[in-house]
Chain A
Amino acid sequence: MNNPIRTSDGELLSVKLKKAESNKRNIAFLLVMPLLLFILVAYILPISQMLQRSVDNTQMNSLLSETYKVIQDWNGEELPPEEVTKVFYNELKYLAENKLHGKIAVRLNYEKGGFSSLIKKTVRKLDSFDENENILDQFIKVHKRWADIDYWLALKRATVPYHFRKYLASFDMIQDFDGSIKRLEEKKRINVTLWLRTIFVALGVTFCCFLLAYPIAYLLSVLPTRYSNILMICVLLPFWTSLLVRTSSWMVLLQTQGVLNDILVSLNLVSDDNRLELMYNMTGTFIAMTQILLPFMVLPLFSVMKTIQPSLMKAATSMGSTPFNAFRKIYFPLTYPGISAGSILVFVLAIGYYITPALVGGSKGTLISNRIAYHMQSTLDWSYATAMATILLVAVLIVYYIYNKVVGIDNMRLG
Chain B
Amino acid sequence: MTEVKQDFVKFEQVDKSYDGEFLVVKGLDLDIAQGEFLTLLGPSGSGKTTTLMMLAGFETPTNGEIYLDGNPISNIPPYKRGIGMVFQNYALFPHLSVYENLAFPLKVRKTPEEIINEKIKQTLAMVSLSDFSNRMPAQLSGGQQQRVAVARSLVFDPQLVLMDEPLGALDKNLRESMQYELKHIHESLGVTVVYVTHDQSEALTMSNRIAVFNDGYIQQLSNPNDLYETPVNSFVAEFIGENNTITGTVKEISGNRAKVEADTGETVIANPIAVSSVGEKTKMSLRPERVSINPSDLENKFEATVKEIIYHGDHTRVRVNILNDDQFILKIPNSNDEIKLNVEDKVQLGWSGHDCRALDF
Which A residues fall within an 8 A CB radius of B? 309, 311-312, 314-323, 325-326, 329-330, 333-334
Q: Chain A interface: which of B75-83, B181-189, B219-227, B274-282?
A: B75-83
Structural contact, B156 and A309, CB atoms closer than 8 A: no
How far apart sit A323 and B87, CA to CA, in the bound complex (Å)? 18
Taking the complex as formed, is B115 at the interface, i.e. its CB lies under 8 A from any CB of chain A? no
Contact of B79 among A309, A323, A329, A334 (CB under 8 A): A323
Structural contact, A316 and B85, CB atoms closer than 8 A: no
| CB closest chain-A residue, reference B161 | A318
Taking the complex as formed, is B56 at the interface, i.e. its CB lies under 8 A from any CB of chain A? yes
**Chain A residues with CB under 8 A of B162:** 318
Q: Quote the shortest CB–CB distance from B214 to chain A (angstroms).
A: 25
How far apart sit A341 and B192, CA to CA, in the bound complex (Å)? 45
Contact of B93 among A314, A322, A323, A330 (CB under 8 A): A330
Taking the complex as formed, is B239 at the interface, i.e. its CB lies under 8 A from any CB of chain A? no
**Chain B residues with CB under 8 A of A320:** 79-80, 82, 105, 108-109, 156
Structural contact, B95 and A333, CB atoms closer than 8 A: yes
A319-B156 in contact given A311-B89, A329-B104 (Cβ < 8 Å): yes
**Chain A residues with CB under 8 A of B87:** 311, 314-315
**Chain B residues with CB under 8 A of A311:** 87-89, 91
**Chain B residues with CB under 8 A of A314:** 56, 58, 78, 85, 87, 91
Taking the complex as formed, is B84 at the interface, i.e. its CB lies under 8 A from any CB of chain A? yes
| CB closest chain-B residue, reference A313 | B91
How far apart sit A171 and B238, CA to CA, in the bound complex (Å)? 84
Per-residue CB contact flags for chain B residues 82-112 toward chain A (1 = under 8 Å, else 0) read 1111011101011100000000110011000
A318-B78 in contact given A329-B104, A334-B94, A334-B95 (Cβ < 8 Å): yes
How far apart sit A312 and B90, CA to CA, in the bound complex (Å)? 9
How far apart sit A329 and B100, CA to CA, in the bound complex (Å)? 11
Contact of A318 among B79, B95, B109 (CB under 8 A): B79
Structural contact, A315 and B91, CB atoms closer than 8 A: yes
Q: Quote the shortest CB–CB distance from A402 to chain B (angstroms).
A: 21
**Chain B residues with CB under 8 A of A316:** 93, 104
How far apart sit A175 and B139, CA to CA, in the bound complex (Å)? 58
A321-B58 in contact given A312-B93, A315-B87 (Cβ < 8 Å): no
Contact of B152 among A319, A325, A326 (CB under 8 A): A319
Inter-chain pairs besides A317-B79, A318-B83, A319-B108, 20 sampled, C-beta below 8 Å = A309-B89, A311-B89, A314-B78, A314-B87, A315-B93, A316-B93, A317-B57, A318-B56, A318-B79, A318-B81, A318-B84, A318-B153, A318-B162, A319-B79, A320-B79, A320-B156, A321-B108, A329-B104, A330-B93, A334-B93
Structural contact, B108 and A325, CB atoms closer than 8 A: yes
**Chain A residues with CB under 8 A of B84:** 318-319
A–B Cβ pairs within 8 angstroms, 7 of them: A314-B78, A319-B104, A319-B153, A319-B156, A320-B82, A323-B79, A334-B95
| CB closest chain-A residue, reference B162 | A318
Interface residues of chain A: helix, strand, loop or mixed (majority): helix
How far apart sit A315 and B156, CA to CA, in the bound complex (Å)? 13
Contact of A309 among B56, B83, B85, B91 (CB under 8 A): B91
Structural contact, A317 and B93, CB atoms closer than 8 A: no
How far apart sit A326 and B104, CA to CA, in the bound complex (Å)? 10
Contact of B91 among A312, A321, A325, A334 (CB under 8 A): A312
How far apart sit A378 and B117, CA to CA, in the bound complex (Å)? 70
**Chain A residues with CB under 8 A of B108:** 319-321, 325
**Chain A residues with CB under 8 A of B81:** 318
How far apart sit A197 and B87, CA to CA, in the bound complex (Å)? 50
Q: Quote the shortest CB–CB distance from A45 to chain B (angstroms).
A: 43
| CB closest chain-B residue, reference A333 | B95
**Chain B residues with CB under 8 A of A330:** 93
| CB closest chain-A residue, reference B78 | A317
How far apart sit A333 and B100, CA to CA, in the bound complex (Å)? 14
| CB closest chain-A residue, reference B86 | A315
For A309, A318, A334, the residue with the greatest tally of chain B CB atoms inside 10 Å of its CB is A318
Q: Quote the shortest CB–CB distance from A329 to chain B (angstroms).
A: 7
How far apart sit A311 and B85, CA to CA, in the bound complex (Å)? 11
How far apart sit A311 and B84, CA to CA, in the bound complex (Å)? 14
**Chain B residues with CB under 8 A of A317:** 57, 77-79
Contact of B104 among A309, A321, A334 (CB under 8 A): A321
Q: Quote the shortest CB–CB distance from A124 to chain B (angstroms).
A: 78
**Chain B residues with CB under 8 A of A322:** 79
**Chain B residues with CB under 8 A of A321:** 79, 104-105, 108
Q: Quote the shortest CB–CB distance from A406 to chain B (angstroms).
A: 16
Q: Quote the shortest CB–CB distance from B57 to chain A (angstroms).
A: 8
Chain B stretch 154-179: residues in CB contact (< 8 A) with chain A:
156, 162
How far apart sit A271 and B343, CA to CA, in the bound complex (Å)? 98
Q: Quote the shortest CB–CB distance from A331 to chain B (angstroms).
A: 10
For the complex of A and B, 8 pairs with smallest distance between CB atoms: A319-B105, A315-B91, A318-B85, A311-B91, A311-B87, A320-B108, A317-B79, A317-B78
**Chain A residues with CB under 8 A of B79:** 317-323, 326
